[in-house]
Structure 1
Amino acid sequence: MAPKPSQPYASVPQNESGSRESEEFELQSINSLDFEIPQESHIEEDVVNEDTQPKSNMRMAFMNMANSILGAGIIGQPYAFKETGVVGGIVVLILLTWLIDWTLRLIVINASLAHTRSYQDTVMYCFGKYGRGLLLFAISSFAYGGCMAFCVIIGDTIPHVLKAFIPHSITHSAALSWLFHRNTITVLFTTCISYPLSLNRDISKLAKASGFALVGMLIIVIITVIRGHFVDPSLKAKLTIQEWTLNINVFQGISVISFALVCHHNTLFIYQSLERATIAKFSKLTHVACLVSMVCCFVMGVSGVLNFGGNTKGNILNNFKSDDNWINIARFCFGLNMLTTFPLEIFVVRDVLKDIVLAGHSDVGSTGSTAHLELSSKQHFFITTVLVVTSMSVSLFTCNLGIILELIGSTSASLMAYIIPPMCYLKLKWDSIDYKTMNKSEKRSFILQTVLPTVGCAIFGFLVMVISSYMSIYNSLHDKSNGHCVAD
């Protein structure tokens, strides 16, 4: 067991009598969306925030957070609702949004309680190097898997847009037709747009690109919802009773929805980029970002599965024909969205690799923290290049987005969002009390408000991880079709 922290809570202002006000972050109840957070509470500036770093206002931070949430997962929502059932999907989406909102804020609160600079340092403080290693694996695989998914989407969207709006004589000419092939477009757009953006060291500089991506996402949702009513009936199929209510593949649907909502690996990056960051301020940001994301997922998921029924694919845009010009506009916007979201994920994977590369540095403290160290220019360039090239390479061999979203959502997302944050919170709270000396009322309150919610969340995450991973792999091995690609 790790030693108890000498200062278990974030510093707070002194009152007029000079005594320190107690600031404890307790769960009010299992149905509560908020902690008891004083409006001006904040994580110590010398621990998490560094005033020398460039800062984002609330609007910029919202763009980065919402863009990180509303990435590739948005177009997988109709498929998720088919897997869960329409009624089951609505219930699951609401519950997962609440859970994601809670665990996002837990990450910042845990960093305050442990006096650490990053998510991985918090886990290191709580569970040692093995816990930290597990988190690093989850973060890197989630972000890296997201990069693969983004490149798959670029290949599924941009080529059809170009072929629709560029004369046939050019796109099918003997000399130039190769330029409009799926793999060629994937390589060109990723290396010419996403790669330069990925070389940025400062996440706040991506706010404008994130704002552009969010506008594009709104266009995608509107066009897809409206256009779905006018597609050829041959592209549709009736929903079964299970697909209307609660489907047997509910855990796979949970994984896809989780992938769409989880952005825990970016949480402290976004928090640290805030001007005059406080936990109360970050909570408001989280509530708004999660609510907006839930609404977008709901609209896209319900409309998509009702329009295409049993034929709904892992990428809802692939349900439409390649010559549908309205959908090609949506494909174009989504392709550009992926090009600008891709750097956010590269930023995260690179930060994880930084921990590994600089782990043996003489300036690294006993906690293993490398948050104050930076990669050299050569290291930064080399790691970024390798990450971009390798993740892009996977997309050249598949267009099955559904299996990618399911596996990442069931493993990495479950660890990052449902298992590790509540377990860290429970560990930190347990280390800050003396359970043996507590009276019955205090023990009962601790169990109901802290133990049951955190352990319950972790058990849920474990079940999603095991059951969904097994079902996804089993179904993938028995699916011999290429039914996830764009309709002809």
Structure 2
Amino acid sequence: MAAIEEIELNAFSAPLADKTSNFSPSVPPDGLPGVSIAPSPATLDGKSNIPSAVSNFLNSIVGAGIIGIPFAIRHCGLFTGILLLSWVGYLTDCSVRMIVTLGRDLGVNDYERLAEKIYGKRGYTLICIFMIFLAFGAMVAYCIVVGDVVPELLGVTSSPAARPVSILLCSLLVMLPLSLLKDMSSLAFTSTASCAADMVLVVIVIICAPVGSSVAAAGGFWKVLGSSIIRPKTVFSGLGAMSFAFVCHHSSFIVANSLKDPSKERWATVTHWSVSMAFTMCMFMGIFGYLGFLEETRGNVLVNFEGGDDMGSLTAGRIMLILTMFFTYPMESFVARHALICVVYGKEAAREDNPRRRLAVTVGLYVSALVLSLFLPDLGIVLELTGAVSGSFLSYILPSSMYMCVHERELMSLLKQLRLDKGILFFTCRKVVENSMLNEEEGQPATRDRDGSVDAADAPIEIGGCQDLVGNGSFFSRTKNTFNALRPFWLPLSMFFFGIIAFVVGTITTLIGAFVTME
């Protein structure tokens, strides 16, 4: 969650580079038609090479949400979960390239200002609200992780006070003081450490998860697969946890603009490698974590592990996870604080150095997250709800809607043409059927003269100057051309409706599941 004004001012203090020779603003990813608005010349002093940019972007994708992927697989079903994980990864790759391309074309260099450029002040406010919800949900989730893991490390899980005391002390002594810092520059080193910790956790789960015994007890792999192809009642809840793990759009501009020679091809390479690596980590974590515990899989998969021969590895993994929570929580707090100040006081106030306001907002967010984490023991619910609401909006709905809004005239023209052609086809078919029925009633089937011409009564139907549209192929040819012209919009359209469904159904099913669990 690095989309913070303090960091952005440093990252974007210089104007964007005039890379028109390498970067084609009019050709968005996947052949999407370009924006007709010409950006002003810009310069960018980017210094990151591709491996460095891949590392930075991977850090922004992979976070603590990865430990909830096995729980998401459980709710989706093994087969459907893998398919949805692949689809979420694909949409993430496409949407981050889509918004960066739009930003370059429209002359803006961050996600919030892109929404403002297209939708006005309401767009800026709306995206800030969803960023608050996403960052705040992450803060609650990280406190829950601390409450799950610290008692395990200290060996005091039997005490009912262990969890709340662990959350209170760790957050008060470590996480809150770090959150009160003015900016994130002093925590910049933690992103690489966090990514390394996630990789180690994936390896630990692969090695330590009791996959063999668990699958054997359930009757074998094929029986497990057959019984968990899809879980219709909870599939969208699991999708929310996946969306939470992959949401990274708020930091995509920072990474893209830090890239040396930021051409479209180089940025595509960065996104492909970053998302592919994140997907691979999530897939291995999800498959091995789920198969190791099946229907007992928890929102934090590390809670499922008990003492055994691999206790040393598990302890090391828990320590790394806790350290990651300590240093990642403040980053989420920075994002929530910045977005909240923008919504309440205005975006200009976010640039001001007001210690009292920073203290009040930070403490208010901390107390709210602390209280919720004490009363919400299940990490899975927090990940699913946060992902369903904010993840769906920031990852799918907003990028696709902004793209279609910019290209509204072209899209509406094509849809109008498609509706017109469908109307012509319907009218033509109806007239053909009516004539056929009339001929049958009169006992006069359509005939041809000796010279091969059709009788006048059976002459081709004329509609708008086009004769026999079905017969001579002009309708099908024009419709084919219209569909081909619409092809660049299939991805944004499918992304938009997928996001709407994930948002609505995911939120409802997660809330219902939460109420059932509390009862």
Structure 2: 5+ residue stretches without partners = 1-15, 418-477
- 1:115 deviates by 2.0
Structure 2 partner of 1:211: 192
2:236 is aligned with 1:251: yes
C-alpha deviation, 1:157, in angstroms: 1.0
Find the counterpart in structure 1 of residue 245 from structure 2.
Answer: 260
**SS of residue paired to 1:24:** coil
Q: Which structure is higher in helix share? A: 2
- CA, structure 1 residues 137+14, in 2 after alignment: closer, same or farther (shift >3 Å)? closer
1:85 aligns with 2:77: yes
Residue 140 in 1 paired to residue 117 in 2? no
1:299-328 residue CA offsets vs partner (Å, 9 max, x unmatched): 111011111111111111111237845323
Letter aligned with residue 244 of structure 1:
S
1:435 and 1:206 map into 2 onto residues whose CA distance is 50
* Equivalent pair of 2:210/2:293 in contact (CA under 8 Å): no
Which structure's CA Rg is the greater one? 2
* Range 142-151 or range 371-380, more displaced: 371-380
Q: Contact 1:111–1:117 (CA<8 Å) still a contact in 2? A: yes
| Within-5 A mapping of 1:52-131 | 61-131=53-123
* Structure 2 residue 299 is matched with structure 1 residue 343: no
Question: Which residues of 2 match residues 10-89 of structure 1 at below 5 A?
Answer: 12=18, 23-28=25-30, 45=42, 61-89=53-81
Query: For the residues of structure 2 that align with 1:247 and 1:378, how far apart are their CA atoms?
Result: 49
Q: Please report how far the alpha carbon of residue 378 of structure 1 lies from its aligned counterpart in structure 2 after TM superposition.
A: 3.5
Tell me what 2:301 maps to: 316
How far residue 57 of structure 1 moved from its aligned partner, in angstroms, is 6.2
AA aligned opposite 1:300: M
**1:267 to partner: Cα distance:** 2.4
Q: CA deviation at 1:98?
A: 0.9
Q: 1:98 to 1:193 in 2, by over 3 A?
A: same
What one-letter code is carried by the residue in structure 1 that aligns with 2:324? Answer: N
Gaps of 5+ in 1: 1-9, 37-41, 165-170, 360-368, 482-488
Counterpart amino acid of 1:246? I
Aligned to 1:224: 205
Contact 2:28/2:98 (<8 A) preserved: no
The residue number in structure 1 matching 2:151 is 159
**C-alpha separation between the residues in 2 aligned to 1:269 and 1:373?**
18
Q: Which position in structure 2 is the counterpart of 1:149?
A: 141
**Which secondary structure state, in structure 1, belongs to the residue aligned with residue 189 of structure 2?**
helix
What is the deviation of 1:62?
Answer: 4.1
Counterpart residue type for residue 428 of structure 1? V
**Given the two structures, how large is their TM-score scaled by the length of structure 1?**
0.77
State the Cα deviation string for residues 257-313 of structure 1 (Å, max 9, x = none): 111111122323444455665554433332222111111111111011111111111
Contact 2:110 2:250 in 1 (8 A): no
- Structure 2 residue 344 is the aligned partner of structure 1 residue 380: no
Query: For residues 504 and 216 of structure 2, what CA distance do their matches in structure 1 show?
Result: 33
* Aligned AA (2:506): S
Question: Do residues 400 (structure 1) and 378 (structure 2) align?
Answer: yes
Distance 1:217 1:306 in 2: 19
Q: Hey, what does 1:454 align to over in structure 2?
A: 492
Counterparts of 1:14 and 1:58 in 2: how far apart (Å)? 19
Secondary structure (helix, strand or coil) at the match of 1:246 reads coil
SS of aligned partner of 2:277: helix
Q: Is the 8 A contact 1:157 1:328 kept in 2?
A: no
- Change in 2 beyond 3 A, CA 1:264/1:273: same
Give, as a single letter, the amino acid of the residue that structure 2 aligns with 1:305: Y
Which residue in the other structure is 1:330 paired with?
Answer: 317
Q: Deviations over 1:103-136 (max 9, x none)?
A: 1122222222222243122112212333333222
Aligned partner of residue 299 in structure 2, secondary structure: coil
Give the conservation status (yes or no) of the 8 Å contact 1:255–1:406: yes
**Offset of 1:339 from its aligned partner?**
1.7
- What residue is the counterpart of 2:340 in the other structure? 353
Q: 1:327 to 1:422 in 2, by over 3 A?
A: same
- Write the letter of the residue equivalent to 1:337: T
- After superposition, give the CA deviation of every residue in 1:162-187 in whole Å (9 maximum; x if it has no partner): 338xxxxxx99xxxx99x93223323
Please tell me the residue identity of whatever aligns with 1:28: D
Q: Structure 1: how far apart are the matches of 2:186 and 2:250?
A: 18
- Structure 2 vs 1, CA of residues 194 and 269 (structure 1 numbering), >3 Å: closer, same or farther? farther
Aligned position for 2:503: 465
Q: Work out the CA distance in 1 between the residues paired with 2:53 and 2:186.
A: 11
2:442 aligns with none
Question: Which residue matches 1:167?
Answer: none
Structure 1 pair 455–208 and aligned structure 2 pair: CA distance change class (3 A): same
* 1:447 counterpart letter in structure 2: L
C-alpha displacement of 1:243: 4.4
- From the superposition, tell whether residues 230 and 237 of structure 1 become closer, same or farther in structure 2 (CA, over 3 Å): closer
Identity %: 27
Q: CA 1:280 to 1:358, structure 2 compared with 1: closer, same or farther past 3 Å? A: farther
Count of equivalent residues: 434
Give the CA deviation at 1:22: 6.3
Q: Which residue of 1 aligns with 2:422?
A: none
CA contact (8 A) 2:29 2:101 kept: no
> 1:354: Cα distance to partner?
3.3
User: Per-residue deviation at 1:454?
Assistant: 1.1
Q: For residues 262 and 231 of structure 1, what CA distance do their matches in structure 2 show?
A: 33
Distance 2:183 2:270 in 1: 20
Deviations 1:355-411 (A, max 9, x none): 23542xxxxxxxxx6499344343334333332333233222232011111111111
- More moved, 230-239 vs 276-285: 230-239
Q: Could you tell me how far apart the structure 2 residues matched to 1:407 and 1:189 are?
A: 25
Counterparts of 1:230 and 1:95 in 2: how far apart (Å)? 25
Distance 2:237 2:303 in 1: 20
Q: Does 1:422 align with 2:422?
A: no
**Secondary structure class of the residue paired with 2:351:** coil
CA contact (8 A) 1:43 1:112 kept: no
Look up the match of 1:485. Answer: none
